[in-house]
């Protein structure tokens, strides 16, 4: 029997309560659609005051009397509650029988116990305490603010969240007996906790080995985030047909009422916040699409940054130019723009008209530009009681500020204030002052007293910033290359061949046998030992053809070889495996160099001025030239015998430091002076060569390596050693324009939205670009339209700045920087104590004031600068959260917030989730005509319904729908009544719902979601909803794992899926008389038919016990009381003979039920809806 829509039910669980035993098994009682309080109770005033979370268990059930499968079953929330302070989530524990206590534990398993903590309780901690006393060894790690620990003693336990940490060292004494005392030091901890202790937890007294017993166990916790949640979120931005990504309002949903009130600071520029814009190339002209964004405003984007004073815009019959200050001024023609602005960094142009907004095409001529911070200088003056005042001075003589760049910030009454240089030497804002650009002297008068404990923060660009250089035009010979590391090493010289098609014609690149490549397809180089290929193709391959690399490869031998070098750095030896194949030898080794750094701030009185020395390691490698020599190194190799000579160590310049005392005046004043002397030294050889080679007799095999899309590396500035300025790069290749944005290359920039297609990346320091997608038939020539390089000045190794607000949420500060030397993006997050200790980014944040102090170094203890790592200040950004917290009571809340995320939110979209993107449109029909046809504005609907003016649905007999074509045909005669025969009120409203079911491929915290298949329609923001789906897969009642046991142990029954002991000789003929089961009555259960005699048996279920008795002479069909239908039917004809008392038949049944937990979360605050509802949809397929 086919499953119909009426067979799909949402079934209630046994107990719809928030008691510990709420939930349980499925009942046969369906949830009545739109019935008030059909699952959840009303929201009380107390719930509105403090917040509340309700859990209800329900089941997706198929009530058909067959065992037809319900394919691909899943559930989604299709409509969220209208009240913004109420949210709904779905999750699944996978259990058909679990109760609320189990679901609560699953939710609270966001954190779970891990290992023993680094501290123990000190003495008894009493019920009701909001702080606990603890003790630990000095060398152990301090607990951090925000961490969660579990206290365990006997049968009781409690999770506690640390809100404050106070630590001090104390002396303790221990008596070993007979007056034998020992004194020792331990660290005492006083830890404030977010909620009072619910019970007394005993602690021990301190001993040299720990603490005495009895004592509670303290366990650290770790984030498990085991539960997966599913919900709904509206689109934050409209999407177009064919889109493979969309942006929702949030990828999170509220699970528990938030304990914090937060304001997010996202993508903030750290340090200096006023930039200079430098022209990166000659003027270019672009065609633009101007969008009407409402309220009389229009907007378009140039696609790149714009140099101040270079813009000429022709739009709407008028010509306008920028005023160098970010505004638009009228030039000629129609003066329809009342006001306008230009964002020189993003290239955004916004225009305001006196009437309605304008849209259309426009053109602009401008010079591309990039923002340069130059040599950003930052610093602070700590504010203490002794120096607190209104007037401050700065001496910036070492690096005077450039005009218009100095910014001074101070904290007054918890609010940050700013004073800025206007460019003419005058400071204005929340105070006044002056700056002398010649001497660097600054005088500041504040408008209010700064807060004690804060700092006066200043930032500016120094005048010693290096000049920028434009690199554009035909003088720059940028070229495109394809690099490939083959999957094999040890290539036979002369055997390599690359094949690809251009315009359908095959092109080749051949190996000459000496490491060079040439042919009809291009030229390049090859490293035989490592299998590395670099080619400059005459034209890129046809789309879809890729590059096929064929070559012969033989086994390689890697072995270490111990040798010594002489005083000139030469070594001799014999390579193993001779005779060797010419061109197959590669040697690698390390050498060491000395480096030194002088003492800084040395004390004259000590007379001790150490020089700190260390060693650095240099990696070296060389390959043979296939002609008895080494490529780029002195030495020879005899392939026949393996004898070789090689210069493994070279000379380098060592800077040696010495101090001496000098008399500086006639009064005998002496001063230490530092002398640096350059000395040429020989590298130290490590003594071991790593040898990779092939014997002459090695057998080679044919190998093939196919590249479907070979990444292209563009050598943008060959022969130039200066790095590229971020954001300054614009170039054309193969007819496409590429633009750099923060190290990512984009093409096809949409002038209406400024969005583009990301196709590659930029290495600023290496002056290369990598493209992962490109067109076919492209020549290697690249033309730079805009590019700036700098030989210094746009990197920093330290930074001090402040966040716009304070206090900050603990551990919320995340700093992202881009290394100048490698273009690598590095990110570090502050720990709960405000420390940043990443591989590159180190420092601290004062969460009370928001002051951040950073150093970019690999060794924070190194004050010489040798370990400093330069980063690009232009790309130094941070995220943080400014917050206030509110405590919640776990008893009233219904969950323990300590074990949950601090903000109470959980992700409802994850990579790999099934998603449904849906939109419902409404079409009003004032007076439908009998027999008439209504053509809707779109087709391919998932559902079409007709309701009246009161949202009451028209009876299905009143109309028919064509979902494929998007049509509604009215019945003839047309009776306007609902399914119960009640009359309807005009006008009618046709609600057509389109939906797109897809896979979530990417999730970003900003709401960006990637999807696996393109959207079929244009969909608006707000009205379009994205839902994540709770999936069960195929649901179907079935009976399985049938086996027999000769003996059934009542005391220890076998509920596993494997027989225990011998089976019976008697059996049941399930092939001829298979047991019957139906979706409606089946449950997930493990059954046993335990024989009491040769013909009678008891029907036993693992959890329900004995539910019925049966015999082999009649059909056995125990009734499911929830549905009044059999759990299953065992047919009498199938029983064989030979059964005996104690025999048993074991089998399992699966239900056609999908369990789920539904979470309703109420946030603190006044409700906005009298009678609210949310919509839940159970979905699947059936024949």
pLDDT tens by residue, 443-485: 999 987 787 778 898 888 776 544 577 888 766 777 888 888 8
Q: Which two tokens stand for residue 338?
A: 């009342």
Q: Tell me the average pLDDT across 717-740.
A: 86
Burial 728-745 (b: 16+ CB within 10 A, else e): bbbbebbeebbbbbebeb
Confidence band of 597 (pLDDT split at 50, 70, 90):
low
Instruction: Tell me the per-residue pLDDT of 1106-1124, one tens digit each, with 9 for 90 and over.
Output: 999 999 999 999 999 999 9
Q: Which two tokens stand for residue 572?
A: 């001799």
Q: Would you kindly state where each structural domain of the chain is located, as residue ranges?
A: 5-98+1156-1181, 111-223, 284-366, 376-464, 477-556, 558-691, 805-885, 1037-1150
Burial 1030-1040 (b: 16+ CB within 10 A, else e): bbbeebbbebe
Average pLDDT over the chain reads 86
Confidence band of 800 (pLDDT split at 50, 70, 90):
confident
pLDDT exceeds 80 at position 673: no
Instruction: Tell me the per-residue pLDDT of 1061-1090, one tens digit each, with 9 for 90 and over.
Output: 999 999 999 999 999 999 999 999 999 999
The whole-number pLDDT of residue 608 equals: 38
CA distance 234 to 919: 10
Cβ–Cβ < 8 Å for 1135, 229 = no
The whole-number pLDDT of residue 610 equals: 45
CA distance 424 to 433: 11
Q: In the block, which residue shows the tokens 């420390």?
A: 835
CA distance 103 to 226: 12
Confidence band of 233 (pLDDT split at 50, 70, 90):
very high
- Percentage of the chain modeled with pLDDT above 70: 91
Cβ–Cβ < 8 Å for 206, 135 = yes
More confident site: 717 or 921: 921
- Its CATH class, for the domain covering 376-464, is mainly beta
Q: Give the CA distances from residue 1012 to residues 245, 247, 1051, in Å, rounded to whole numbers and listed in that order.
A: 9, 14, 53
The whole-number pLDDT of residue 283 equals: 93
pLDDT exceeds 50 at position 635: yes
pLDDT exceeds 60 at position 793: no
pLDDT exceeds 70 at position 95: yes
Instruction: Tell me the per-residue pLDDT of 636-661, one tens digit each, with 9 for 90 and over.
Output: 999 999 999 999 999 988 877 676 66
CATH number of 111-223: 2.40.30
Confidence band of 13 (pLDDT split at 50, 70, 90):
very high
CA distance 966 to 956: 17
The whole-number pLDDT of residue 182 equals: 65
**180-189, 565-574, 1111-1120: the lowest-pLDDT one:** 180-189
pLDDT exceeds 50 at position 669: no
Return all residues near 37 (Cβ < 8 A) that are at least 6 apart: none
pLDDT exceeds 80 at position 781: yes
Return all residues near 1177 (Cβ < 8 A) that are at least 6 apart: 75, 76, 77, 78
CA angle 569, 574, 576 (to 5 degrees): 130
Burial (Cβ within 10 Å: 0-12, 13-18, ≥19) of residue 612: middle
Cβ–Cβ < 8 Å for 102, 95 = yes
Assign domain 477-556 to its CATH architecture.
Answer: Sandwich (2.60)
The whole-number pLDDT of residue 600 equals: 36
Compute φ and ψ for 812, nearest 5 degrees: -95, -15
Nearest CA to 1077 out of 26, 7, 66 is that of 66
pTM of the model: 0.52
Q: In a 3-state reduction of DSSP, which class is residue 933? A: strand
CA distance 1086 to 24: 17
Side-chain half-sphere of 568: how many Cα atoms within 13 Å?
Answer: 8
Instruction: Tell me the per-residue pLDDT of 503-517, one tens digit each, with 9 for 90 and over.
Output: 888 999 999 887 889
pLDDT exceeds 70 at position 273: no
Nearest CA to 692 out of 558, 563, 583, 560 is that of 558
Confidence band of 433 (pLDDT split at 50, 70, 90):
very high
Element (H, E) at 498: strand 497-502
Burial (Cβ within 10 Å: 0-12, 13-18, ≥19) of residue 509: buried
- Can 111-223 and 477-556 be said to share one CATH topology? no
CA distance 85 to 387: 48
Number of Cβ within a 10 Å radius of residue 1069:
12
The whole-number pLDDT of residue 474 equals: 67
Cβ–Cβ < 8 Å for 185, 138 = yes
Q: Tell me the average pLDDT across 873-895.
A: 72
């Amino acid at each position: 029997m086919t499953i119909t829509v009426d067979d799909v039910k949402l079934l209630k669980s046994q107990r719809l309560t928030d008691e510990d035993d709420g939930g349980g098994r499925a009942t046969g009682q369906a949830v009545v659609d739109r019935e008030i309080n059909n699952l959840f109770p009303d929201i009380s005033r107390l719930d509105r005051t403090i917040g509340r979370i309700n859990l209800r268990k329900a089941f997706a059930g198929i009530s058909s009397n067959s065992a037809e499968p319900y394919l691909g079953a899943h559930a989604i929330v299709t409509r969220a509650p209208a009240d913004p302070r109420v949210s709904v989530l779905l999750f699944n524990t996978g259990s058909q029988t679990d109760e609320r206590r189990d679901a609560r534990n699953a939710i609270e398993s966001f954190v779970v116990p891990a290992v023993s903590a680094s501290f123990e309780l000190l003495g008894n901690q009493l019920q009701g305490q909001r702080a606990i006393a603890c003790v630990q060894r000095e060398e152990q790690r301090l607990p951090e603010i925000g961490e969660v620990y579990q206290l365990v003693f006997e049968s009781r336990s409690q999770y506690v969240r640390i809100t404050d940490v106070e630590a001090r060292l104390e002396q303790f004494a221990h008596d070993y007996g007979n007056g034998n005392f020992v004194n020792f030091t331990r660290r005492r901890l006083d830890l404030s906790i977010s909620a009072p202790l619910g019970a007394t937890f005993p602690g021990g007294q301190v001993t040299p080995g720990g603490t005495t017993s009895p004592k509670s166990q303290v366990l650290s916790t770790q984030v498990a985030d085991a539960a997966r949640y599913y919900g709904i979120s509206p689109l934050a931005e409209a999407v177009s047909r064919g889109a493979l990504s969309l942006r929702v309002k949030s990828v999170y949903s509220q699970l528990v009422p938030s304990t914090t009130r937060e304001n997010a600071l996202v993508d903030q520029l750290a340090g200096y916040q006023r930039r200079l814009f430098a022209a990166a190339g000659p003027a270019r002209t672009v065609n633009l699409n101007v969008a009407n964004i409402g309220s009389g405003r229009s907007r378009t984007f140039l696609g790149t940054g714009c140099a101040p004073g270079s813009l000429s815009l022709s739009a709407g019959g008028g010509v306008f130019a920028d005023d160098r200050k970010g505004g638009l001024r009228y030039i000629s023609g129609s003066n329809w723009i009342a006001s306008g602005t230009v964002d020189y960094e993003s290239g955004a142009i916004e225009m305001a008209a006196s009437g309605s907004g304008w849209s259309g095409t426009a053109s602009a001529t401008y010079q591309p530009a990039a923002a340069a911070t130059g040599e950003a200088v930052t610093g602070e003056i700590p504010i203490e009681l002794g120096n607190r005042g209104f007037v401050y001075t700065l001496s910036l003589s070492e690096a005077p500020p450039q005009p218009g760049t100095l910014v001074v910030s101070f904290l007054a009454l918890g609010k940050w204030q700013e004073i800025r240089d206007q460019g003419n030497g005058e400071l204005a804002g929340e105070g006044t002052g002056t700056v002398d650009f010649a001497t660097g002297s600054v005088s500041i008068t504040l408008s209010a007293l700064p807060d004690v404990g804060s700092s006066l923060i200043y930032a500016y660009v120094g005048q010693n910033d290096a000049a920028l250089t434009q690199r554009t035009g035909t003088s720059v010979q940028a070229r495109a290359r394809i690099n490939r590391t083959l999957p094999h090493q040890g290539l036979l010289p002369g055997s390599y061949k690359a094949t690809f098609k251009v315009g359908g014609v095959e092109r080749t690149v051949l190996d000459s046998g000496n490491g060079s490549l040439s042919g009809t397809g291009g030229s390049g180089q090859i490293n035989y030992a490592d299998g590395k290929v670099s080619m400059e193709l005459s034209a890129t391959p046809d789309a879809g053809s890729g590059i096929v690399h064929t070559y012969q490869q033989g086994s390689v031998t890697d072995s270490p070889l111990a040798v010594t070098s002489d005083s000139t750095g030469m070594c001799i030896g014999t390579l193993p495996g001779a005779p060797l194949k010419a061109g197959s030898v590669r040697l690698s080794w390390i050498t060491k160099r000395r480096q030194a750094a002088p003492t800084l701030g040395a004390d004259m009185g000590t007379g001790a001025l150490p020089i700190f020395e260390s060693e650095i390691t240099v990696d070296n490698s060389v390959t043979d030239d296939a002609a008895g020599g080494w490529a780029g190194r002195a030495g020879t190799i005899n392939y026949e015998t393996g004898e070789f000579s090689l210069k493994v160590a070279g000379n380098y310049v060592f800077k040696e430091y010495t101090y001496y005392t000098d008399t500086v005046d006639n009064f005998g004043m002496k001063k230490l002076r530092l002398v640096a002397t350059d000395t040429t030294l020989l590298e130290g050889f490590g003594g071991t060569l790593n040898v990779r080679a092939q014997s002459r007799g090695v057998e080679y095999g044919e190998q093939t390596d196919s590249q479907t899309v070979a990444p292209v590396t563009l050598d943008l500035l060959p022969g130039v050693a200066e790095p590229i300025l971020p954001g300054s790069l614009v170039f054309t290749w193969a007819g496409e324009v590429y633009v750099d944005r923060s190290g990512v290359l984009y093409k096809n920039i949409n002038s209406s939205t400024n969005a583009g297609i990301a196709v590659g990346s930029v290495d600023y320091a290496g002056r290369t670009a990598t493209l992962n997608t490109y067109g076919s038939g492209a020549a290697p020539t690249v033309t730079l339209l805009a590019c700036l390089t700098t030989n210094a000045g746009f990197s920093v190794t330290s930074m001090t700045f402040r966040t716009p607000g304070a206090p900050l949420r603990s551990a919320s500060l995340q700093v992202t920087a881009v290394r100048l030397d490698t273009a690598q993006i590095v990110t570090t997050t502050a720990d709960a104590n405000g420390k940043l200790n990443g591989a590159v980014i180190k420092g601290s944040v004062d969460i009370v004031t928001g002051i951040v102090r950073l150093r970019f170094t690999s060794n924070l203890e190194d004050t010489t600068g040798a370990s400093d790592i330069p980063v690009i200040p232009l790309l130094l950004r941070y995220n943080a959260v400014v917050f206030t917290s509110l405590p919640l009571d776990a008893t009233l809340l219904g969950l323990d917030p300590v074990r949950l995320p601090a903000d109470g939110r959980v992700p409802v979209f994850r990579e790999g989730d099934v998603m449904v993107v849906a939109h419902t449109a409404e079409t009003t029909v004032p007076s439908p005509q009998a027999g008439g046809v209504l053509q809707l504005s779109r087709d391919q609907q998932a559902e079409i319904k007709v309701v009246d003016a009161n949202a009451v649905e028209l009876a299905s007999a009143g109309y028919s729908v064509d979902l494929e074509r998007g049509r509604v045909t009215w019945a003839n005669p047309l009776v306007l009544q609902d399914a119960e025969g009640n009359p309807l009120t005009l006008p009618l409203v046709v609600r057509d719902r389109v939906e797109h079911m897809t896979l979530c491929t990417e999730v970003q915290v900003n709401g960006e979601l990637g999807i696996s298949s393109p959207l079929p329609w244009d969909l608006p923001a707000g009205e379009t909803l994205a839902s994540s789906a709770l999936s069960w897969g195929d649901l179907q009642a079935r009976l399985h794992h049938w086996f027999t046991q000769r003996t059934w142990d009542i005391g220890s029954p076998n509920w596993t899926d494997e027989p225990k002991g011998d089976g019976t000789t008697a059996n049941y003929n399930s092939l001829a008389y298979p047991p019957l089961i139906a979706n409606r009555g089946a449950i997930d259960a493990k059954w046993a038919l335990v024989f009491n005699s040769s013909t009678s048996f008891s029907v036993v279920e693992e959890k329900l016990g004995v539910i019925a008795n049966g015999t082999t002479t009649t059909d056995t069909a125990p009734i499911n009381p929830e549905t009044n239908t059999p759990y299953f039917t065992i047919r009498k004809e199938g029983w064989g003979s030979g059964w005996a008392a104690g025999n048993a038949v074991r089998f399992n049944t699966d239900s056609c039920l999908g369990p789920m937990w539904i979470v309703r979360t109420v946030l603190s605050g006044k409700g906005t809806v009298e009678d609210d509802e949310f919509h839940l949809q159970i979905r699947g397929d059936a024949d």
